A and B are shown apart, each in its own frame.
Chain A
Amino acid sequence: MTEPLLKVRGLKIGATIYPQGERPREIEIVHGVDFDLAPGKVLGLIGESGAGKSTIGLASMAYGRGGVEITGGEVWVNGRDILKSGLKDVRSLRGAEVTYVSQSAAASFNPAKQIMEQVTEAAIFQGKFSRSKAEERAVALFRKLGLPDPENIGARYPHQVSGGQLQRCMTALALCPEPDLVVFDEPTTALDVTTQIDVLKAIKDAIKDTGVAALYITHDLAVVAQVSDHIMVLQQGATVEYGTTDQIINHPREPYTKALVSVRSIQHEEKQPTDTPILRVEGVTARYKGTSFDVLKDINVEMYAGQTLAVVGESGSGKSTLARVITGLLPPSAGKINFDGRTLTPDLATRPLNDLRELQMIYQMADTAMNPRQTVGTIIGRPLEFYFGLKGAEKQKRIQELLDEIELGKGFQDRYPAELSGGQKQRVCIARALAAKPKLIICDEVTSALDPLVADGILKLLLNLQKIEDVAYLFITHDLATVRAIADSIAVMYQGSVVRYGSKSKVLSPPFDDYTDLLLSSVPEMKLGWLEDVIANRKMASAGN
């Protein structure tokens, strides 16, 4: 076997934490990780947030981000241990032999400089190419990555290209100095599913054509299965399983890996429409104040008591705006909303308290949806007090009942949101919505900020609660796997209109319209070779290209 390009042995990474009122102390966040990467190969690092995958990725450039320190082990790049090298050697390595692609290209590009200048900067600085040579190479990379107008796109500023294009520019930036290794840190996580697939394909082809080795960091096993040769599964800073992509996906050995592979396996029997519609949206058109553009165009959907309507679409399709119209935050310019047999007033301020109570909302970011200065008891207790006038022991009892319902149990009432994990926070938000005894809960991307296993738990909980409380969900999401798991009927939104609407089985079975086909086919599947099949067979190119 040839000498590996990157050899990591016993890598230990520590950080200093500063607990309030205590002495700062050292904790270890990566506990001795080993792996090899041969030239031209791709290794996928996968794990939940906090697993240490980004930290390990950056350590292969001998870098520790904000307060993180590499405390032990060896990192060999091209035959030398870079942890023992001086700063000067490390500097000559970064941006020349090893480069980095970050998650949010929009936040990583300097908005005041043209793309070309930034793409070629490292190559010129490291003396790899002359300016004209580097620019020539950049244009070639732009072309290879499928960017439109490759000769001139470099003259644009970062805000003048779309998110998917910018992510590809960043890939060009990383490949420009002809590195031996590129670290991709969640390069497609911030993108829409239909954009992700093209960027993924571009990255994969670029890796293959340039023969560069790559570390591909992501939390999405289905994505990493498409690009990598080997996969390393991490949990809390330690290796769980390390093997070829085929072995990890098709024959996982460890229970944790099995759980990751079989995530979203919830089976949900579709319910038939009843004759009691809980919500009917009739011809709703809406625009934001001071604009002349309709964000929603003549929306007609209907949903039934105790059932789930999933509204699916990309960012910008108007699905969250629909929620704002229904809740009364944005009065529609035309059309009306019928709720439980009565017409809702368009503006929140004029709605009777009972309408407000029966229509609750759960947000995407549980962090910002709870007041950080209130305890869990206050957060859940307020609707009880506000709508039902519960006080004292009675209120306490009901709060505890709700906490039991969301499977949190005792000891949570006095905690502050900062003392909860991401999944627990979202559960508390669910309890707050349930406390009002609503008939309809609008769930706005409630699982998209969560790790897959945690999100799975939340979906199961929601389904369970639906059985107990007979509450209807209007479920807004961009994730079709979630839709399959919980919906009874589906509305597909595209550029402010509903392009497909009906029961789940009807919407998800052919013949498809072009957009639904694109959307459905873009959801990564945990199967080798899926990416190539999809690109070859689809009918419509995705937006953002």
Chain B
Amino acid sequence: MRIPLGALLGLFFTALFFAMAIFASWIAPYGMAEVVGDVWEPPSDKFMLGTDSIGRDLLSRMIYGGQTTIFIATAATVLSFTLGSVLGFFAAVSGGWVDQSLSRFVDLIMSIPSLIFALVVLSVMPTTVPILILLMGLLDSTRVYRLARAVAVDITVMDYVEAARLRGEKIVWIIFRETLPNALSPLVAEMGLRFIFAVLFVSTLSFLGLGVQPPQADWGGIVKENKEGINYGIQAALYPAYAIATLCISINLVADWVLNRTTSLKGGRG
């Protein structure tokens, strides 16, 4: 199997980010909340990226922040995809009032801007990581539901689904064996994008002060803490942006490659 260059590059960076997130406590040169230097020290041998607004090592903060951000985004994406696609397929295969009531409920949720919705919920709920994951997962699952349903509606009118119904197959078989394998390509493509949206969303929440709470680090929080530095030409607030951009591109390179493999109707063997 030959892996194209783009996918290799994407795989490398994605793996790098995830490895850093998983092994954060071994890789980071300093503790997450440890004050080790002066305020906004420039990059040096001691602090590769310099220090932040109260003198913590920025590289360590970035690594720990990556851990939090990537963990929350991954968990939220997994939740939204499982929930959204299963419900979407269920609605499409069932049709009738099941489809109608689910779809209209989702429309209702989607009609409220998700950031506002999240802000309202977070202002009454305690801001913990599980709550954040649950909230983001549920909100995003409405988008996944829409896509999954639209794709599945096209699939359920195919003759092979009718053949399965005529055979007497149960709804679980129709969803998981007839529909899902054929809906995978658009879902994989969407997943790459949705993961990045989740990263941005959790960063936005943290930037607004409603996401991950200090002293725990996350990329949005780092921007918030260091935003004043931009006035003095300190790059600290920009590093999370670089990280998010790199992660975004590499994840999508990988998703593209997976997509190419899954669209093959010959089992990927030519």
Which residue numbers of A lie inside 8 Å of B, CB to CB?
19-22, 327-329, 348, 351, 353, 356-357, 360-361, 363, 365, 368-375, 382-383, 386, 416-419, 432, 436
| Of the residues A19, A348, A370, A374, contact of B165 by C-beta under 8 Å | A348
**Contacts known (A370-B160, A371-B160, A418-B265); A20 close to B270, Cβ less than 8 A:** yes
Q: Are B159 and A22 in contact (CB under 8 A)?
A: no
Q: Are A372 and B182 in contact (CB under 8 A)?
A: yes
Instruction: From B2, B178, B264, B266, name the one whose CB has the most chain A CB atoms within 10 angstroms.
Output: B266
Q: Are B181 and A371 in contact (CB under 8 A)?
A: yes
Which B residues are CB-close (under 8 A) to A375?
A: 267
A329 to B158, CA, bound (A): 14
**Contacts known (A20-B270, A418-B265); A373 close to B181, Cβ less than 8 A:** yes
Q: Are A383 and B2 in contact (CB under 8 A)?
A: no
Which A residues are CB-close (under 8 A) to B159?
A: 363, 365, 368-369
Q: Does B268 contact A (CB under 8 A)?
A: yes
Q: Does B162 contact A (CB under 8 A)?
A: yes
A87 to B160, CA, bound (A): 46
Which B residues are CB-close (under 8 A) to A369?
A: 159-160, 163
Which A residues are CB-close (under 8 A) to B160?
A: 368-371
27 inter-chain pairs at a CB distance below 8 angstroms, sorted by A residue, are A20-B264, A21-B268, A21-B270, A22-B270, A328-B166, A329-B162, A329-B165, A348-B165, A356-B168, A357-B168, A360-B166, A363-B163, A368-B160, A369-B160, A370-B160, A371-B181, A372-B182, A372-B265, A373-B265, A374-B177, A382-B167, A386-B167, A386-B169, A416-B265, A418-B266, A419-B266, A436-B167
**Contacts known (A371-B181, A419-B266); A329 close to B168, Cβ less than 8 A:** no
Residues 166-209 of B, flagged 1 when their CB comes within 8 A of A and 0 if not, give 11110000000110011000000000000000000000000000
Given contacts A356-B167, A418-B265, A436-B167, 12 further A-B contacts (CB under 8 A): A19-B270, A21-B1, A327-B166, A351-B168, A361-B163, A365-B159, A368-B158, A373-B182, A374-B181, A383-B167, A386-B168, A419-B266
A134 to B270, CA, bound (A): 52
A370 to B182, CA, bound (A): 12
Which A residues are CB-close (under 8 A) to B163?
A: 361, 363, 369, 432
Residues 69-92 of B, flagged 1 when their CB comes within 8 A of A and 0 if not, give 000000000000000000000000
A293 to B168, CA, bound (A): 29
Q: Are B168 and A20 in contact (CB under 8 A)?
A: no
Query: For window 1-23 of chain B, which residues contact chain A by CB distance below 8 Å?
Result: 1-2
How many residues of B are in contact with the other chain, CB < 8 A? 23
Nearest-Cβ distance from residue B19 to partner chain A, whole angstroms: 28
**Shortest Cβ distance from B178 into A: residue:** A371
Which B residues are CB-close (under 8 A) to A386?
A: 167-169
A386 to B165, CA, bound (A): 12
Q: Are B264 and A356 in contact (CB under 8 A)?
A: no
**Shortest Cβ distance from A360 into B: residue:** B166
A122 to B1, CA, bound (A): 51
Q: Are B166 and A21 in contact (CB under 8 A)?
A: no
Which A residues are CB-close (under 8 A) to B2?
A: 21
Residues 91-109 of B, flagged 1 when their CB comes within 8 A of A and 0 if not, give 0000000000000000000
Nearest-Cβ distance from residue B151 to partner chain A, whole angstroms: 14
Which B residues are CB-close (under 8 A) to A356?
A: 166-168
A19 to B264, CA, bound (A): 10
A266 to B1, CA, bound (A): 49
Query: For window 228-265 of chain B, which residues contact chain A by CB distance below 8 Å?
Result: 264-265
A21 to B269, CA, bound (A): 8
| Of the residues A329, A371, A382, contact of B166 by C-beta under 8 Å | A329
Which B residues are CB-close (under 8 A) to A357?
A: 168
Which B residues are CB-close (under 8 A) to A360?
A: 166
Nearest-Cβ distance from residue B213 to partner chain A, whole angstroms: 45
Nearest-Cβ distance from residue B172 to partner chain A, whole angstroms: 13
A372 to B155, CA, bound (A): 11
Which B residues are CB-close (under 8 A) to A370?
A: 160
Query: For window 51-82 of chain B, which residues contact chain A by CB distance below 8 Å?
Result: none
**Shortest Cβ distance from A365 into B: residue:** B159
Query: For window 140-166 of chain B, which residues contact chain A by CB distance below 8 Å?
Result: 158-160, 162-163, 165-166
Nearest-Cβ distance from residue B146 to partner chain A, whole angstroms: 23
Q: Are B270 and A353 in contact (CB under 8 A)?
A: no
A20 to B270, CA, bound (A): 5
A360 to B165, CA, bound (A): 11
Instruction: From B160, B169, B268, name the one whose CB has the most chain A CB atoms within 10 angstroms.
Output: B160
